Homo-oligomer: A and B are copies of this chain.
Amino acid sequence: MVNRYEKGMEILKITNKNRIQEVFKELDDIVPDLGRFIVEFPYCEIYSRDGLDLKTRELITVAALTVLGNADSQLKDHINAALNVENTPKEIVEAIVQMSVYAGFPAAINGIKVAKEVFKKRDLLPLE
């Protein structure tokens, strides 16, 4: 029988590598189960499903977090993840800019600021 936790961790190794360890550490002395849920529900049950590849999954998550606008830390993580599964910086920028149409310009501008911070750290700037 497939172990759900291990299956989720395998996806996470591809997308986020070190980041999940930091999340575990943050949750460790308060509610470690939440860390387990993240591995088992989003990663084992959702990201590992057929029908969309990881590249597309991470890109729509970047779009979703840009729209939400109140989860900068997670947006940063998923922009990193999106790059890790072969999205180009340009594709990520396009997804964020498009959100100006659906969630307004402030959401798009703030998303771009987060992307810029990630790209800078990974030495990917300037783009154009």
Interface residues of A (CB under 8 A from B): 23, 26-34, 37-38, 41-42, 45-47, 49-52, 56-57, 59-61, 63-71, 73-74, 88, 90-91, 93-95, 97-110, 112-113, 115-116, 119, 125-128
Contact = CB atoms under 8 A, between A and B. Distances in A.
| Assembly stoichiometry (copies) | 6
Contact of A116 (B26, B61, B95): B26
A55 to B, nearest CB: 10
Given A45-B37, A103-B104, A29 B71 contact: no
A10 to B, nearest CB: 17
Contact of A109 (B23, B68, B69): B23
Contacts of A113: 26
